[in-house]
Structure 1
Amino acid sequence: MSPTEVVLTRDTGAVRVITLNRPEVRNAIDWPLRIALAEALEKADADGTVRAVVLTGAGGAFCSGGDVATMERLPEEQARPRAEAAQRVVRAIWRTPKPVLAAVEGPAYGAGTSLALACDRIVASSTAAFSTSFTGVGLAGDMGIFASLPARIGPARAKQLMLLPAPITAPEAHALGLVDRLVEEGAALETACAEATRLAAGPPLAFGAIKELLGATPAAPLDVLDREVEYQVRLFDSDDFAEGVAAFHEKRRPVFRGIQE
């Protein structure tokens, strides 16, 4: 599948719907997908006819996270562009003045949770599930989660979810504040598009000001993206990451040693 096919776009009036399109792996993010997704978001930002964006996934899943099947231990010179490509997606969401909504059906795990949290509003079906599952492969997390998660639920709760990740049901996520609106199974995209249509009729300059002002204080989220890259680059070249990926392929629990060689 070519990079242009792993992300689909369509317009409904002034709303651009961007769909992650790797349903065979529940829309797991590999290198071509992260590049195509960033490009799609940047094009939506540059298109004057687009006033709001809805981000969703194909095949009944939002995003199952990074595609571990394509991961391997990487030296810094290879890990850095990979990590920066993921952050490019989030920069596009945070820098556009246009509202970006996530329509979540099914799993949103690891990077999938980060991707949803990066959006301005999350609409989730009652059967959706979230998990900050980065530590399963010896990673800390990226795609803005160290700014977006504590901004929604506070640093103490965010720390617990990151240290002890476990699947969170959509109703639980709604109660925590991770999800803004809970809808029936299968209705997330339709609802998000209806809300995006309403936002598309709103004042673009005011929306841009709201995003910029809330994003600039107090945590400077864009600075967090740079710090996340530095940690991810080091972790991609760690024994623990190599062990986490090996355990995934061998369908066993990883044994982490916390040693950098």
Structure 2
Amino acid sequence: MEPCVLTEDDETVRIVTLNRPSRRNAIDLELRIVLAEALEASMADRGVRAIVLTGAGGTFCSGGDISTMRRQSPEETRPRAQAAQRVIRAIWNGPKPVVAAVEGYAFGAGTALAIACDRVVAASDAVFSTAFTGVGLAGDMGIFASLPARVGLAVARQLMLLPRRLPADDALRLGLADAVAEPGKALESALADARRVAEGPPLALAGIKAMYAAWPAAPQDVLEREVELQASLFDTADFAEGVAAFHERRPAVFRGE
């Protein structure tokens, strides 16, 4: 039986692929657990500088696997919901930037999973939809934080209350996607972006992620955290390398030290 999540390394970029193409990569409980483990392992691997998250078979993720759902008590449901949130915590709390490569459908939890990432590259024929209310649910996988952060509170509320299918160009205009690629080229484009990110200073990138993970925050708190982050980065080998490379007019080689 094929694993529900595949991983492959492209130099310092790890590609993590949802691998249930017969179900359009719908998320069941096993996939939630395995995906969280794959992301956590990638975040902990010093050889990995960036992560690309994608789906097999021409579809990113069609949402939760409704065929595995049934009415059940909150006590029974809570572990399933927590397993979904573990995936999002791995993306948000981990130090490595994550780029989503979206082909085909990103519905419900698929949209939530994509927009939890640091960058979203969508094929021009991809389609997004919140879609949770169609089965009587409100939403999970961090969508109540990530959606308003991307599109604003008013637009997020309307997209949740009145779900509709958003083609990639509309997703780009609203802020759900950050770039649009030719059909079938989302992974290639996302990989190119991830390779560029992977060349950056790992400690600074981790700091940037941590700053945004705490958003929204009080402006005065942001100022204090900026000071602490910048002060810590001044005392790193990467900073010294960056300054030396600037003076020597050559590309910097960052090592995360």
Alignment TM-score, normalising by the size of structure 1 = 0.82
| Alpha-carbon shift at residue 194 of structure 1 (Å) | 1.0
Q: Partners in 1 of 2:45 and 2:212 — Cα distance?
A: 24
| Alpha-carbon shift at residue 165 of structure 1 (Å) | 0.3
Q: Partners in 2 of 1:88 and 1:211 — Cα distance?
A: 17
With CA pairs under 8 Å and 6+ residues apart, which has the higher RCO, 1 or 2?
1
Which residue does the alignment assign to 1:136?
Answer: 134
Q: Partners in 2 of 1:151 and 1:33 — Cα distance?
A: 26
Secondary structure, counterpart of 1:142 in structure 2: coil
The structure 1 residue matched to 2:172, chosen from 151, 157, 174, is 174
Matching residue's letter, 1:194: A
Q: Which 4+ stretches in 1 moved above 2 angstroms?
A: none
Which residue does the alignment assign to 2:154?
Answer: 156
Q: Partners in 2 of 1:124 and 1:196 — Cα distance?
A: 14
The structure 1 residue matched to 2:208, chosen from 207, 210, 215, is 210
- Cα 1:219–1:59 change in 2 (3 A) is farther
> What do the CA deviations read for 1:233-255 (whole angstroms, capped 9, x no partner)?
xxxxxxxxxxxxxxxxxxxxxxx
Q: Partners in 2 of 1:100 and 1:137 — Cα distance?
A: 29
Which residue does the alignment assign to 1:23?
Answer: 21
> What do the CA deviations read for 1:26-66 (whole angstroms, capped 9, x no partner)?
00000111111000000101111000000000000000000
> What do the CA deviations read for 1:213-237 (whole angstroms, capped 9, x no partner)?
11212169xxxxxxxxxxxxxxxxx
Matching residue's letter, 1:27: N
Identity across matched positions, percent: 66
Are the counterparts in 1 of residues 88 and 142 from structure 2 also a CA contact under 8 Å? Answer: yes
Matching residue's letter, 1:113: T
Q: Does 1:59 align with 2:57?
A: yes
> What do the CA deviations read for 1:147-190 (whole angstroms, capped 9, x no partner)?
10000110000000000001100011011111000010011001
Matching residue's letter, 1:72: R
Q: Partners in 1 of 2:69 and 2:30 — Cα distance?
A: 13
- May I ask how many residue pairs the two structures share in their alignment? 218
Q: Structure 1: where are the runs of 5+ without partners?
A: 221-261
Give the CA RMSD over aligned residues: 1.1
Are the counterparts in 2 of residues 150 and 157 from structure 1 also a CA contact under 8 Å? Answer: yes
Which residue does the alignment assign to 1:201?
Answer: 199
Which residue does the alignment assign to 1:9?
Answer: 7
Are the counterparts in 2 of residues 110 and 134 from structure 1 also a CA contact under 8 Å? Answer: yes
Are the counterparts in 1 of residues 93 and 213 from structure 2 also a CA contact under 8 Å? Answer: no
Which residue does the alignment assign to 2:105?
Answer: 107
Q: Partners in 2 of 1:145 and 1:88 — Cα distance?
A: 14
Larger CA Rg, structure 1 vs 2: 2
Q: Partners in 2 of 1:12 and 1:217 — Cα distance?
A: 31
Which residue does the alignment assign to 1:72?
Answer: 70
Alignment TM-score, normalising by the size of structure 2 = 0.83
Secondary structure, counterpart of 1:54 in structure 2: strand
Matching residue's letter, 2:92: W
Q: Partners in 1 of 2:215 and 2:173 — Cα distance?
A: 25
Which residue does the alignment assign to 1:223?
Answer: none
Matching residue's letter, 1:212: A
| Alpha-carbon shift at residue 202 of structure 1 (Å) | 0.3
Matching residue's letter, 1:175: R
Are the counterparts in 2 of residues 147 and 219 from structure 1 also a CA contact under 8 Å? Answer: no
